Chains A and B, each alone.
Chain A
């Protein structure tokens, strides 16, 4: 039975701390403007796709009477904000980007070491035997009945577990990073394709939030599984490798 390699343990905990800092600062940033849109533009004077009731900025309506910009009935409008909004983006944004650097570093080490050591191929990417209807159906039945196998203290993962880890490592986290980068005006200038493929900067912001929701769901299930398979054993294994 294998143990967690040191680089797995280190990158796991650096990524964990970075992810939690990203999640908290990201939520604080969202609180400054809890409205989501599609396309390139979206603001308090345009309709929202989703409005989240997460700060006093939610539907505050603190604007002067909108005045048309052009002389036509369909004209966009301009108005002056009269409301002191909740905004903690000063530290929120800086902490978000600092944590992002740590997650990129931990993720880079993990992917490189994982590719060269064969860890990703052997333990993370689901193999042929994992992806049979029989295996998946059995694991789904057992998970539904909350029959979770006891921890082994190392990387011998079930098929559903591999699918979840592979989805987060290869799809959700890279997608989150790309939708985040797509919101950067400097990056969008150098790589115009980036906001373009997501349908615009506000679409990228909405998708960035959606991937945050997926990652929080993963985190909750992950922690529940750790607790159910033996919390102390799992924490020892991921921290000390024993």
Chain B
């Protein structure tokens, strides 16, 4: 066997070991396999809930049902520019997150209040919607 063949085989071996190692590590150590088992059995709603986080997705679905389609809202309890906020903005469109909202979507903030706003609808004690008076 000539040198070039040996070099190619060794390189391929190292390559495949690293490839399999990092793929397997993602699946097993990273917990992806368990996630995929759940996701593969879920319908579209289940996949969204699993991805967004069940609690947050339930809150978004609640807000989508309650709010008028093109509502001007803001979040309380969801950090601006966070991934959660981005997903919320996407999910609730054509509703729009604005600085002067008509609705405030309160997420996991029991007892949250703001002047000029009154409780409009609630999912539970921590998650509810305030509306401008």
Is B truly associated with A? no
Residues on A close to B: CB < 8 A? none
